[in-house]
Amino acid sequence: MTAHNMIVLMSDEHASNIMGCAGHPFIKTPHLDRLAARGTLFESAYTNAPICVPARASFATGKYGHQTGHWDNATPYTGEPKSWGHYLQQNGNPVGSIGKLHYRNESDPVGLDFQQIPMHLVNGVGDVLGCVREPMPRRWKARDLADSAGAGETSYTTYDRNITDAACAWIAERGNEPASDKPWTVFISMVAPHFPLTAPQEFYDLYKDMDLKPTKPAREDDHPWLKALRHCFVYDNFNEERTQAALTGYFGLISFMDYNVGRILDAIEAAGLNDNTNVIYVSDHGDNMGERGMWGKSNMYEEAAAIPMIMAGPDVPGGKVSKTPVSLADVFPTVLDCAGLSADDPELPGRSLFQIAAEEDCPNRAVFSEYHAAGAMSGAFMIRKGPWKYIYYTGLNPQLFNLDTDPAEINDLGTAPEHDAIRAELHAELLKVCDPDAVDRQAKTDQAAIIEKHGGVEAVLERGGFGATPAPGAKADFVASKGAIA
């Protein structure tokens, strides 16, 4: 395989099936669809952690959060262990980023030659409130999601426009440069469709006359882990009108993001780079979209844990849909493979997407995700293999779903006696990855140290949470959680 340039496009909170090319009945994503038409769509792709900071750490390092100590939105990537960018730098390949990174700060040696308009953790610290899990606080700031839903512009939409402008300008400059035997890599990371669910008017209007509502309500007999998550994030102000506005905003933001992707794809073509540049599109995690009474992410249902993943360009089969399960950890070896490099590291769990796309489907490949952050009463661990999704919760009953016969994940087989054998098989797969109970203990130990560093539980509750990380130049708006412990 000849070494080529690589562009990695990332959105934030884009659920895997909300694309035309993924079979969605009404979403308008013409530019992602055209990328898939000339490349390979990985239909069973997953985040390694359904929350921003640890997901992006796995993306950078190619390793799972428990391998590297990235548990939550207060444990950012700081440059250790090595990222794919470090390998590129060591080989003399130009590499940089434009847009959201969600690492600790701009000065850490994270393997990037440049960072244009980056977004990093608030004050280099992030969401310490998410480390408080026993007892569970209530996050009142979550109510802003319903209140802010609608049509309009936000600092995030302005930021995404600026990211797109900068990306198109950077790509145009590359088109004027002579070819090099050291191909470049650029990571272009946008915020949409991350909340606030306020979409620019023209994109909001695409869906404003539709009857939009969740299809799966919260259940009284739901798993206790999920009940605790819903209790932590306070979404009690989602009436019918606010729900309609939020979903209209979410779909509008996806089409807004797709429009920006289209501008970038057009810039690649205009610069004459299509024949020597590979493009990956991915999101850091999905979004619950009101299903089961939840918004945001933070769980292992398909809405939150499954992500879109598309790759196109040289050496990628066109018009293919791969059924092999993949994850963000697979991006690391893919980026290096594109540059003609590899990492001699036996602890890397991923494989190059170039290899996976070129092979026959392997639906029995196992992929892994974990969650230890805000709202998690204990560690949650997922194994996806074949039609099965197994979710292990430390100290609680597991969940099990057959995604072939029950794609909506309604029928929980986690304690069904007739599925003892498949649960045992999938738990054995989990144990190949980690000891989940030991990982849960380590996460809580590390989080307790972070809480103590910031003055203890009462001080962290008093400081509270701020919802979403603000765009560069904006300030975080904290809301206290003191006195609201569940």
What average pLDDT does this structure show over 264-291?
98
What average pLDDT does this structure show over 209-221?
94
Q: Structure pTM?
A: 0.97
- DSSP reduced 3-state for 422: helix
Q: What is the DSSP string of 79-109?
A: S-S--HHHHHHHTT--EEEEEE--SS-SSS-
CA atoms within 13 A on the CB side of 410: 7
Calpha distance 183→44 (Å, rounded) = 29
Residue in 108, 57, 102, 46 with CA at minimum distance from that of residue 79: 108
pLDDT, one tens digit per residue, over 125-167 is 999 999 999 889 999 999 999 999 999 999 999 999 999 999 9
Q: Is the pLDDT of residue 440 over 70?
A: yes
Calpha distance 240→290 (Å, rounded) = 11
Q: What is the dihedral of CA 36, 42, 44, 45, to 10 degrees?
A: -100
- DSSP reduced 3-state for 46: strand
Using only C-alpha atoms, the chain has a radius of gyration, in whole angstroms, of 21
pLDDT, one tens digit per residue, over 304-329 is 999 999 999 999 999 999 999 999 99
176: confidence class by pLDDT, cuts 50, 70, 90: confident
Calpha distance 442→318 (Å, rounded) = 44
Burial of 364 (0-12, 13-18, 19+ CB in 10 A): exposed
What average pLDDT does this structure show over 353-374?
98
Calpha distance 450→375 (Å, rounded) = 17
pLDDT, one tens digit per residue, over 112-128 is 999 999 999 999 999 99
> Is 473:455 a contact under the CB 8 Å cutoff?
no
Distant-in-sequence, close-in-space partners of 221: CB < 8 Å, separation ≥ 6: none
List, in order of start, the domains of the chain with CATH numbers. Answer: 5-362 (3.40.720.10)
